[in-house]
Structure 1
Amino acid sequence: MAALAPSAKGTLRFGEHRTWYRVTGRLDCGRPPVVVLHGGPGSTHDYLLALTALAEAGWPVVHYDQLGNGGSSHLPDRGADFWTVQLFQDELDNLLRGLGITEQYVLFGQSWGGMLAASHAARRPKGLRGLVIANSPASMPLWLEEMAVLRAQLPEQVQQTLLRHEAAGTTDSDEYFQAMRVFYDRHVCRILPWPADYTASFMEIYNDPTVYFTMNGPTEFHVIGSLKDFSVIDLCERIEVPTLLISGRHDEATPATVQPYADLIGDVRWEIFEQSSHVPHLEEPEKFTAVLVEYLKGLS
């Protein structure tokens, strides 16, 4: 297909639905595009727009909204049997084909997107040149164990408020939201007030929480959805491309949740951002871009 102009936007047909995408830079520049897989599941691309800095350094960047949120088709009436890991794997495959980049690309997966990217990489697609797994657990059971550790460090009153509303099923209350923010401000985004890009994705989730509530649950640390037993640990040994791991020192994706990637992927390097939590691309943007550019240069 013809090369897309810088900052081109559009949608691709995905079965009966549509996937929204944005391309920054030119896909015909000779370098592999960096395809950005956002978190959630059920978030949007907005909070990862800072990765467009890679296009300024010479690597085209593809953002997209996974099905169910943002500019892609919203399907609020679909149940848990529809929202599966396989669905999002198929959507990614469809995106790569639709943009004509299956022969050469790099995946950047953040949080849930890192698990999705690892699942894709484990299939050893011939066009995959590199993999970045950012702020992502290798296992949801491990994640839940570490959430208990982090929650125990919150003020006692905050812990009791969270537990009371979770037991009562009133996690949509303002009191629960305020208690939740204490955790988020420590372990998800430490910039106050939250950056506009991050706030945009946060609000998109709550404008249509179908995917997030179904697969994850009401919050990052109260995971009761269909993903609660999901793991990519058994897939890690199959990943052959050069892999960069990223996490923050204060990240909700604690070292214990990331360690299986470091132990099992053959060609791997782990960069910890000392001043960051879950979004180092926002919390330490200059260092983040420098680390990514260095990694991308190493692929050529």
Structure 2
Amino acid sequence: MKTKLFILSLLFVLCFNCKKTEKITIVETANTAENYLKPNTEDQFLGGIKMIPITTPKGEFKVWTKRVGNNPTMKVLLLHGGPGMTHEIYECFDGYFPQENIEYYYYDQLGSYYSDQPKDLSLWDLDRFVEEVEQVRVALGLNKDNFYLYGQSWGGILGMQYALKYQDNLKGLIISNMVASIPDYQKYSDQVLAPKLDPEVLKEIMSYEDKEDYTNQRYLDLIVENYYTKHVIRMPVKDWPEPINRGFKHLNPDVYVTMQGPSEFGIKGNATLKNWDVKDRLKEIKTPTLTIGATHDTMDPEHMKWISTEVQNGRFLLCPNGSHLSQFDDQKVFFKGLISFIKDVDSGAF
């Protein structure tokens, strides 16, 4: 149970302008069995799975991807959180994207469970991950005419950083449940969320924080039961969806602790992301951008709304009943807004 809760607790850082006939043709083509997975490729044998070679400063490795669906103009690459989490927390997308004819790609970043997991800690570097995403994009044949990049939590950091360097390759960007500044995130956690806890619970949590006793079972129980069920996924732990539990079980703590740090109440210690901040650079992003926030998130929803006004072409979606994993605890609002954005950009209505 201790191991399970430790892994669980690591989460937080953790065509209206188209011609009518053209649009109908795309929809009908995407719906045919022959085109759902492209014939005459390895997809026929691997169900859309592709291991992509990645070149790094420490050699070549392979990362796992899986394509679902086929649409020439709407292709979404999913960047999971963590760092060191897996694609499994997005399996609920299967209930929404296929029926909307949206092609999407599950992807385990280097170090995550289904991909290679080298032990060299120097690989867990933001800029290197950006180059990895670019290599994945090229290998999957994604481009400015079809490529939507979705990033949640740590994936949102990676998505923003990618857009600041490679936005000319993007058709659309989605930043989900992530602010543009780790110091601002820490401030919100300390000054807004922490005081909402029962004073005695907060006092006990901070006693473990002060001692840096981050793996203590009591500390983990307090965090999960009093903080995560309010701000990460608003469900009792016993009701958490199976893909979440499976994803947490597969989390790589080496990646997580290196970049996020050992604390479950913020980003502390020598975490490499501790001082990350791109607030002053958001105005450089011209790609159509959707930011998704939730009322009960670990991240400040007002900050995420602000991001949508800083980028050149932004839209904000609020999940009023959601938290950090609003794809689960405010699912209908989340997917309605996400799908509308993708289709509005695709049709030219955005």
The normalised TM-score by structure 2 is: 0.79
Q: What is the Cα deviation at residue 124 of structure 1? A: 4.7
The alignment status of 1:35 with 2:77, answered yes or no, reads yes
The alignment status of 1:13 with 2:57, answered yes or no, reads no
Residue range with higher mean Cα deviation, 59-68 or 230-239:
230-239
C-alpha distance in 1, partners of 2:82/2:231?
Answer: 15
The alignment status of 1:185 with 2:226, answered yes or no, reads no
C-alpha distance in 1, partners of 2:174/2:167?
Answer: 15
Divergent runs of 4+, >4 A: 1-7
The alignment status of 1:69 with 2:112, answered yes or no, reads yes
Partner of 1:115 in structure 2? 157
Partner of 1:85 in structure 2? 126
C-alpha distance in 2, partners of 1:299/1:203?
Answer: 36
Q: Is the Cα–Cα contact under 8 Å of residues 139 and 257 in structure 1 kept in the other structure?
A: no
Q: What is the Cα deviation at residue 7 of structure 1? A: 4.6
Partner of 1:244 in structure 2? 290
The alignment status of 1:106 with 2:140, answered yes or no, reads no
Q: Is the Cα–Cα contact under 8 Å of residues 327 and 334 in structure 2 kept in the other structure?
A: yes
Q: What is the Cα deviation at residue 220 of structure 1? A: 4.5
Q: What is the Cα deviation at residue 202 of structure 1? A: 2.0
Partner of 1:25 in structure 2? 69
AA partner of residue 142 (structure 1): D
Q: Which runs of 5+ in 2 are unaligned?
A: 1-37
Q: What is the Cα deviation at residue 49 of structure 1? A: 1.6
C-alpha distance in 1, partners of 2:262/2:246?
Answer: 18
Identity of aligned residues (%): 27
SS at match of 1:245: strand
Residue range with higher mean Cα deviation, 116-125 or 91-100:
116-125
AA partner of residue 108 (structure 1): Y
SS at match of 2:123: coil
* Cα gap change, 1:71 to 1:233, in 2 (>3 Å): same
Q: What is the Cα deviation at residue 141 of structure 1? A: 0.4
C-alpha distance in 2, partners of 1:96/1:275?
Answer: 33
Q: Is the Cα–Cα contact under 8 Å of residues 240 and 265 in structure 1 kept in the other structure?
A: yes
Q: Which runs of 5+ in 1 are unaligned?
A: none
Q: Is the Cα–Cα contact under 8 Å of residues 38 and 110 in structure 1 kept in the other structure?
A: yes
C-alpha distance in 2, partners of 1:128/1:47?
Answer: 24
Partner of 1:167 in structure 2? 210
C-alpha distance in 2, partners of 1:66/1:159?
Answer: 34
AA partner of residue 10 (structure 1): K
The normalised TM-score by structure 1 is: 0.92
C-alpha distance in 2, partners of 1:241/1:278?
Answer: 24
Partner of 2:253 in structure 1? 209
Give deviations 1:192-231, integer Å, cap 9, x for gaps: 22111222222222xx300111100234523121101001
SS at match of 1:13: strand
SS at match of 1:288: helix
C-alpha distance in 2, partners of 1:292/1:40?
Answer: 21
Equivalent residue in structure 2 for 1:51, among 93, 100, 109 = 93
Q: What is the aligned length?
A: 294
C-alpha distance in 1, partners of 2:169/2:130?
Answer: 16
The alignment status of 1:222 with 2:266, answered yes or no, reads yes
Q: What is the Cα deviation at residue 125 of structure 1? A: 3.4
C-alpha distance in 2, partners of 1:162/1:265?
Answer: 37
Name the structure with the higher helix share: 2
Find the structure with the greater CA-based Rg: 2
C-alpha distance in 2, partners of 1:247/1:47?
Answer: 17
Q: Is the Cα–Cα contact under 8 Å of residues 79 and 149 in structure 2 kept in the other structure?
A: yes
SS at match of 1:180: helix
Q: Is the Cα–Cα contact under 8 Å of residues 187 and 251 in structure 1 kept in the other structure?
A: yes
Residue range with higher mean Cα deviation, 167-176 or 213-222:
213-222
